[in-house]
């Protein structure tokens, strides 16, 4: 499996656009942002709604705007929200995405970067009432508020995750979409520190070329990662697998963030930074995986790579899992 770089070379041979290492040469660079704009996360102060103090909870962050003009070309910053009710036992209050608030140039101010930006404060009581979940007991463990943002350029064009490259978030610190969970806060020493990572299940990519699985099987993964704390959140942990997983590649990988929400753990994509001319190959979580809030010794996350995230290499989706074990 660690021979994935050979597989990528083979895949590139059949893709007319050729293979590029996007970490070395991002699809979008600062020089090309003349044609667009994106919000960039400057500080995350609070990233969750605390079930022990919902009334006092608020999501809080600072963003600035990158547009090659210090944010002057941003005419409007729109924040949308949908409520994802994951607990039907107390009724299904899930909603479609709705516009919560529009910020205009009058709301922007100069940030430490020199660009225009603003503080975004989302009080739980306000957003819960907005989506119709403001009564006691409406929001419980596992429920989520799904936020989507967009920028309206001064010339009328609209920019969002729908027409943005992964390089915006992976390389430049952009933040388009984010989820806020109603969750159970963790102590700093929980689900943190060094963890051994092994494959639970793993595919054999060489089978794509008719090679015997037994002869070219996947070797065991022997990897230790450090799960670090994330400022502004008690439930998020960040790690980097380097070049040794996804399940291989031989290219660098960006940071991956885990969020432990009471009884489920979610993972951002493990992005390889490599592709065949159509974005980058990434592994995304199949679905939220269960974990034990009172046991941080081990848990498993299931990923699917290629398919919709094949970097233009034309490879079918394949699944594998990673098992984390505390050292």
Per-residue pLDDT tens, the chain, 327 aa: give them.
333 433 333 343 323 233 333 333 333 434 444 468 999 999 999 999 998 899 999 999 999 999 989 999 999 999 999 999 987 677 789 999 999 999 999 999 999 999 999 999 999 999 999 999 999 889 988 789 999 999 999 999 999 999 887 667 766 788 999 999 898 889 999 999 999 988 888 776 555 544 433 333 445 567 889 999 998 899 999 998 775 554 444 456 678 999 998 888 999 888 877 788 877 888 899 998 999 999 999 999 999 988 888 888 888 888 889 999 999
Shared domain for 191 and 258, answered yes or no, is yes
Shared domain for 218 and 271, answered yes or no, is yes
At 261, give phi and psi (nearest 5°): -115, 85
Shared domain for 233 and 102, answered yes or no, is no
Which residues form the domain of 227? Answer: 4-23+187-326
Whether 176 maps to a domain, the answer reads no
- Token reading at 210: 């008719």
The answer to whether 217 and 2 are in contact (CB under 8 A) is no
Whether 174 maps to a domain, the answer reads no
* CA 83 to mean position of chain CA atoms: 18
Whether 175 maps to a domain, the answer reads no
Q: What is the model's pLDDT at position 282?
A: 84
Model pTM greater than 0.85? Answer: no
Determine whether 300 is exposed, middle or buried from the number of CB atoms within 10 Å of its CB (0-12, 13-18, 19+): middle
Q: Is the peptide bond before 92 cis (omega within 30 degrees of 0)?
A: no
Q: What is the model's pLDDT at position 314?
A: 87
Shared domain for 18 and 112, answered yes or no, is no
Shared domain for 218 and 314, answered yes or no, is yes
- Token reading at 196: 């051994």
CATH number at residue 100: 2.60.40.1940
User: How many angstroms separate the CA atoms of 239 and 194, rounded?
Assistant: 10
Q: Is the peptide bond before 247 cis (omega within 30 degrees of 0)?
A: yes
Neighbours of 50 (CB within 10 A): 18
Whether 278 maps to a domain, the answer reads yes
Q: What Cα–Cα distance (Å) separates residue 206 from each residue in 212, 221, 267?
A: 8, 17, 26
User: How many angstroms separate the CA atoms of 41 and 29, rounded?
Assistant: 17
The answer to whether 312 and 199 are in contact (CB under 8 A) is no
Which residues, at least 6 apart from 24, have a Cβ–Cβ distance to it below 8 Å? none
CATH number at residue 15: 2.40.128
Whether 107 maps to a domain, the answer reads yes
Q: What is the model's pLDDT at position 58?
A: 97
Q: What is the model's pLDDT at position 170?
A: 66
Shared domain for 232 and 276, answered yes or no, is yes
User: How many angstroms separate the CA atoms of 293 and 265, rounded?
Assistant: 10
The answer to whether 191 and 237 are in contact (CB under 8 A) is yes
The answer to whether 323 and 220 are in contact (CB under 8 A) is no
Give, in degrees to the nearest 5, the angle at Cα 113 between 64 and 272: 70
User: How many angstroms separate the CA atoms of 98 and 291, rounded?
Assistant: 31
At 35, give phi and psi (nearest 5°): -95, 10
């Amino acid at each position: 499996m660690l021979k994935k770089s050979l597989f990528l070379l083979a895949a590139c041979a059949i893709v007319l656009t050729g293979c590029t290492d996007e970490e070395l040469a991002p699809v979008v660079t600062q020089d090309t942002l003349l044609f667009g704009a994106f919000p960039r996360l400057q500080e995350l102060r609070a990233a969750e709604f605390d079930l022990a103090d919902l009334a006092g909870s608020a999501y809080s962050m600072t963003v600035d705007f990158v547009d090659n003009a210090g944010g002057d070309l941003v005419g409007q910053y729109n924040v949308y929200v949908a409520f994802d009710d994951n607990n039907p036992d107390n009724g299904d209050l899930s909603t479609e995405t709705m516009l919560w608030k529009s910020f205009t140039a009058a709301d922007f101010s100069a940030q430490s970067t020199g660009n225009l930006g603003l503080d975004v404060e989302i009080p739980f009581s306000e957003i819960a009432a907005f989506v119709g979940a403001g009564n006691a007991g409406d929001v419980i463990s596992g429920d989520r508020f799904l936020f989507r943002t967009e920028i309206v350029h001064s010339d009328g064009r609209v920019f969002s995750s729908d027409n943005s490259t992964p390089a915006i978030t992976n390389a430049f610190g952009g933040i388009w979409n984010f989820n806020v969970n109603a969750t159970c806060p963790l102590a700093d020493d929980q689900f943190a520190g060094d963890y051994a990572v092994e494959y639970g299940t793993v595919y054999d990519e060489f089978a794509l070329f008719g090679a015997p699985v037994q002869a070219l099987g996947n070797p065991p993964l022997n990897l230790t990662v450090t799960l670090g704390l994330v400022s502004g959140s008690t439930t998020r942990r960040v790690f980097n697998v380097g070049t040794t997983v996804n399940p291989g590649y031989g290219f660098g990988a960006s940071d991956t963030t885990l969020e432990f929400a009471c009884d489920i753990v979610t993972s951002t994509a493990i992005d390889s930074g490599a592709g065949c001319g159509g974005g980058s190959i990434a592994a995304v979580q199949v679905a939220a995986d269960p974990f034990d809030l009172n046991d941080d010794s081990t848990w498993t996350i299931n990923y699917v790579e290629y398919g919709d995230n094949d970097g233009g290499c034309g490879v079918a989706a394949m699944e594998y899992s990673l098992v984390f074990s505390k050292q």
